[in-house]
Amino acid sequence: MSSSTNRRVFREYVGAQQSAVNLTDVPVNPNVGEFHFILSFAIDYTTSDSAPQPTNGNFSPSWNTRHHTPEAVAGFKRRHPDGPNKPKARVMVSVGGDSVMERANVLFSPVDEDSWVRNAVESLSAIINDYNLDGVDIDYEHFRTDAAMFTRCIGRLLTELKARKPGLITSIAPYSDTESYYISLWNEYKNVIDYVNYQFYAYGRDTTDQDYIRYYNTQANGNFAGGSVLAAINTNSQAVINIVNPDVALQACSELNQRLPGIFFWSADASHNQNQGFTYEARAQQMLANN
Ligand SMILES: *[C@@H]1O[C@H](CO)[C@@H](O)[C@H](O)[C@H]1NC(C)=O
């Protein structure tokens, strides 16, 4: 198959772990359809003091803004211009995440629906313009509201951002503990959600490749049926945290291969910090390129 017809996507989160990795460090296979970096995270919290406070939808970057600058984003895109036999290199912003610099949980905690949506549309539009970004990912993992409130706020946010910037690429990042919020959002607003970055690596260390494939089928054929549900690999292989081994995840991806619209990675920082030479990223992209 010629690469111009390959629409499969490789995505990787970057920035949350504040490593020295540069966007241009990660290899880009010319034969994948699209290559997305996802800058992590924009948060609606204060970051300056030891007790971060929510700011009701006024987002700012929590990545190292002296390292991942608008110029760095532009440099990455210049290095990978669109064209025949080239992937579309795009850069997104992810919203939320687990914690504010590991000091406090990032809670979805709007004061009220209208003011949160208004603030979120304005502040995220400013970040998108400053960095010339191409998309938004929603990754809230803790909630002070019910799923109905989350659904209305995020659904309206994605709808308004897409109206402001035609072609904006959107995704959501559920996992088993948070999926009820995201299934509610999906059921009402799937028309404004382009990818589902389901965090399959969160199923834990004892997950086998056959378990992984079963989990994938449950999400892709059930909860998020009709969506572009991506497979997920976490490169934090030596972590004390309880995640799926990246070799097991890669094996499951190779068995699912033709069915996958793409694969996303957490994270460029982890791969850099563990000095892996981005070998998992390269192998996953080779798999997607060989479609
Ligand atoms: C990232 O780029 C900066 C500026 O060019 C450079 O100083 C730094 O060493 C790079 N980081 C790595 C990990 O190569």
The tens digit of pLDDT for each residue in 5-46 reads 678 999 999 999 989 999 999 999 999 999 999 999 999 999
The response to whether residue 21 sits with its C-beta less than 6 Å from ligand 1 reads yes
In three-state form (DSSP H/G/I as H, E/B as E, the rest C), the secondary structure along 11-78 is EEEECCCCCCCCHHHCCCCCCCCEEEEEEEEEECECCCCCCCCECCCCCEECCCCCCCCHHHHHHHHH
Q: Whose Cα sits closest to atom 10 in ligand 1?
A: 22
In the chain, where the domains are located: 9-290
Atom of ligand 1 at shortest distance to CA of 21? 13
Q: Which of 125-139, 146-160, 203-217, 237-251 has the lowest mean pLDDT?
A: 237-251
3 pLDDT more than 60: no
pLDDT at 4: 47
Give yes or no for residue 259 having a pLDDT over 70. yes
- Give residue 2's pLDDT: 43
How confident is the model over 103-112, as a mean pLDDT?
A: 94
Entry pTM: 0.96
CB neighbours of residue 168 within 10 Å? 18
Per-residue confidence (pLDDT) for residue 206, from 0 to 100 = 95
| Bridging pattern class, strands 60-61 and 104-105 | unpaired
Cβ–ligand 1 contact at 148 (below 6 Å): no
pLDDT at 57 over 60: yes
Ligand 1 pocket check for 257: Cβ under 6 Å: no
Token pair of 90, please? 């795009």
Residue 255 annotated in active site = no
Q: Decide if pLDDT at 275 tops 60.
A: yes
Task: List, for residues 82-93, the tens digit of each pLDDT value.
Answer: 998 899 999 999
Q: Please report the pLDDT score of residue 240 as a whole number.
A: 67
**Ligand 1 centroid to residue 275 C-alpha, Å:** 15
Report how far ligand 1's centroid is from the alpha carbon of 23 (Å): 10
* Residue 273 in contact with ligand 1 by CB distance below 6 A: no
pLDDT at 5: 61
Tell me the C-alpha distance between 16 and 18, whole Å. 6
In sequence order, which residues have a C-beta less than 8 Å from that of residue 91 and are 6 or more positions away? 23, 36, 37, 38, 39, 73, 76, 77, 131, 132, 133, 134, 135
Q: How far is the C-alpha of 261 from the C-alpha of 228, rounded, in Å?
A: 6
Verify whether ligand 1 is closer than 6 Å to residue 173 (CB atom).
no
* 101 has a pLDDT exceeding 90: no
The CATH architecture that domain 9-290 belongs to is Alpha-Beta Barrel (3.20)
Find the catalytic residue in 141, 179, 188, 255: 141
By CB atoms closer than 10 A (0-12, 13-18, 19+), residue 70 is middle
For 220-251, how does the pLDDT look when each residue is reduced to its tens digit (9 = 90+)? 999 999 999 999 999 987 656 799 999 999 99
